[in-house]
Amino acid sequence: MNYCRHCMVPTEEDACPLCGEKKLWPILPEDPCFVAELEEPWSGIFSDILRQKAIPCMAKPQWGAGWTATLGSKFERYHFYVPYEYLPAARELAEELFSQSGEESEEE
């Protein structure tokens, strides 16, 4: 499995499917990988779920600069990353969360 350090995504291709970067690296278990983009309240819920499962995660505000450990302002969208070794578990949790958020967004 290869890894694009720009997009933080694993790929089996020789070039990154997102940015086209051809200089890819063999992925390491600790490399952060993109899991999901979520906004409040789902970003807070998802980070709680990950914490309960002892999955280390990083959340990056979509419009902000830098990384944050605390999820602050309302309505901000966060990009969630977890180490590659936790990616399958984190994706599964994200899918469960998305199916819940889908059911509850009908009121909009």
- The site for Zn ion (CB under 5 A) is made up of 4, 6-7, 16, 18-19, 21
Q: Give min distance, CB of 78 to Zn ion, in A.
A: 19
Task: Tally the residues of the chain.
Answer: 108
Q: 28 with 8: CB under 8 angstroms? A: no
Stated as kind and residue range, the H or E segment containing 92 is helix 87-104
Nearer to Zn ion, 45 or 79 (CB): 79
Rg (CA), the chain: 15
Q: 29 with 84: CB under 8 angstroms? A: yes
Nearer to Zn ion, 21 or 76 (CB): 21
Nearer to Zn ion, 4 or 87 (CB): 4
How far, in Å, CA of 23 to CA of 66, rounded? Answer: 24
Q: Give min distance, CB of 5 to Zn ion, in A.
A: 8
